[in-house]
Amino acid sequence: MRICIPTETNAGRKAIVYAHFGSAPYFTIYDSEKDTFEVIDNSNQHHAHGTCHPLEMLNDKHIDAVVCGGMGARAVLGLNGSGIKVYRVVGGTVEETIEKWKDGSFEEITVENACSEHRCH
């Protein structure tokens, strides 16, 4: 399984999880089968609310899930439309997030509980 985690830095498993999907400086992708990390620079992190297009950068990355602090309904719809589930995590590092993932204790982000502005969490 390939899990995309928006992060503050490109420090792999030690990177801090970023609070919001679209404006994250980096996307850290964890491959659970290979136990490897890939870091993608989010060149679209500075944008007006609702105008980001991070999905374009992730299209060819074969992501199965996104784990983040929050995201808007449009991003949830776009990811779900591509077969990608979205889950909420509060803070921590990528390593801590992966451990929580293994426990299966995440809340799924849906259109109904998605963010309506950047400061929603």
Order of strands, sheet of 26-31, starting from the edge strand that comes earlier in the sequence: 36-41, 26-31, 2-7, 65-68, 85-88, 107-108
Domains of the chain: 2-108 (3.30.420.130)
pLDDT of residue 73: 85
- How far apart CA 76 and CA 102 sit, in angstroms, is 22
pLDDT of residue 20: 80
- How far apart CA 113 and CA 93 sit, in angstroms, is 23
| Residue whose tokens read 């990355």 | 61
Q: What is the mean pLDDT of residues 8-27?
A: 91
Count the neighbouring beta carbons within 10 Å of the beta carbon of residue 61: 13
Report pTM.
0.84
By three-state DSSP, how is residue 100 classified?
helix
pLDDT, tens only, 50-77: 444 556 667 788 999 999 888 888 888 9
Average pLDDT of the chain to the nearest whole number? 83
pLDDT, tens only, 82-106: 899 999 988 899 999 999 888 887 8
pLDDT tier, 6 (very low <50, low <70, confident <90, very high otherwise): very high
- How far apart CA 93 and CA 16 sit, in angstroms, is 4
pLDDT, tens only, 18-45: 988 878 899 999 999 999 999 999 875 5
Give the percent of the chain with pLDDT over 70. 83
- How far apart CA 40 and CA 25 sit, in angstroms, is 9
